[in-house]
Structure 1
């Protein structure tokens, strides 16, 4: 297969899963290379691609019994693109493109937001207020490119088969102003309109709910075709980080479940948002 440059997070994930499958039966990389008659290390490190047929052969050689898991890996190998986010390659950080790709393929999305409205439910003026605070400061063209990209990510909700989305939003995000009062008011009105979608659920975590796990950061959890192929994305000061080790998946599922326990029900959340908007 031809060498792919640069590799995407999804390609790296496929390589990591193939390595995990091999290591699960205790097969060395040299043994696998002899068995498959190819350079396994290049595939596992995403330096080169692998065909969907070869993924099935490798899974058979690794004696993997999970048919749904294998089907998920085969789908990852089959997806070649190009896709809409590839238009931004080289002009936006690669991590942002990886988020768009992760969202595109997710069967369900769960998001926990502490200080910002969920990116997929943001209005352009509100986005502009957020990006205006970026360090280092963005030049106008770069800022508008980020806004355009985020708007296109939100088009996921308009697909004929959009993923189910659960947004957990802390009260601080509803009250934090990016832009003036009018921008925040319009953003809250837009939020109320977006959560009328049948595939979107939003729950507010009010101040009086108290503290909760992972209160200091935002989380996006993308469900794959099987739980073993789920992915966690978190934002850190240095950029975007993706986590998919089993321990991380278990822990972040628990974090989101705990936050949901502190949140009020969806119908009550709608009334809560309306009260906040009226008070601005």
Structure 2
């Protein structure tokens, strides 16, 4: 029995609970379909107990779920017992940060819209270091180092043989903030230019001229799953990280980030703007 299920394990259980509730069954009734194992249903849905692919398919049949792509996508969420690199930070960082790394590792695509900062996946080490130094809750030197190394390792999803497709929409304000001073800021902008040349990375900018736009003032991180129902929204808020996966929430933020993209510059014009900002530093 698990005492600290990961975000992915919790999501697997939550998706099975959604299927059960759509079928109009209680946990007790679902347990009876498995021979009176109501406690097992509750533990699986809470992420405390593992579940086999065969049992997921059995439950889907009991729940009259005919959406085979969804069922197989849920089956694909079953772990293989291999610990991800993020597990080495289990006692060092908040568990929600580990859940974010796990989410990124499995995402089919990531879309990231930010206003006041360069997205974490595109930050240089020096830029990220300054961000952590300015955290509202002061971090100790060891805590800063742990968070810094963790952020740099997260960026591995943008490298390798099968990098994750990534779209970043960054407001002009973030480009012009001299985080860490002119030298650090210039190196950060050059890094953005370099990364924007990669085939799987799309970088867009929203200029000051746009004025107010849908979702202005908030950052949105949208991770696409193997099927739309398994997408996830990550919001980094002052009181902590939030993960959203309700159907209405996913539709809302999917629409919102589409509307944000619609008012952003093209990748080519974005690079022109970055060059212009660099010349002004």
Indicate the TM-score class for this superposition, using the shorter chain for normalisation: over 0.9
Aligned equivalent of 1:155: 156
Aligned equivalent of 1:202: 203
Over the residues paired in the alignment, what is the CA RMSD in angstroms? 1.0
**Which residues in structure 2 correspond to 1:168-207 (within 5 Å)?**
168-207=169-208
- In 1, Cα distance between the equivalents of 2:59 and 2:152? 39
Maintained 8 Å contact 1:52/1:77: yes
Maintained 8 Å contact 1:107/1:225: yes
- In 1, Cα distance between the equivalents of 2:152 and 2:204? 22
Aligned equivalent of 1:70: 71
Aligned equivalent of 1:27: 25
1:154 positional shift: 0.3
1:23 positional shift: 0.8
Aligned equivalent of 1:104: 105
* Residue 11 of structure 1 pairs with residue 9 of structure 2: yes
Segments of structure 1 that go 5 or more residues without pairing to the other structure are none
Segments of structure 2 that go 5 or more residues without pairing to the other structure are none
Q: SS in structure 1 opposite 2:214?
A: coil
Aligned equivalent of 1:254: 255
1:278 positional shift: 1.1
Give the length in aligned residue pairs. Answer: 278
1:177 positional shift: 2.3
Q: SS in structure 1 opposite 2:204?
A: strand
Q: SS in structure 1 opposite 2:24?
A: coil
Write out the 4+ residue segments of structure 1 that deviate beyond 4 Å after TM superposition.
Answer: none
Aligned equivalent of 2:137: 136
What's the CA shift string for 1:194-233, capped at 9, x where partnerless?
Answer: 1111100011000101111221221110000000100000
* Residue 86 of structure 1 pairs with residue 84 of structure 2: no
Maintained 8 Å contact 1:51/1:78: no
- In 2, Cα distance between the equivalents of 1:175 and 1:76? 40
- In 1, Cα distance between the equivalents of 2:212 and 2:177? 18
Question: TM-score w.r.t. structure 1 length?
Answer: 0.97
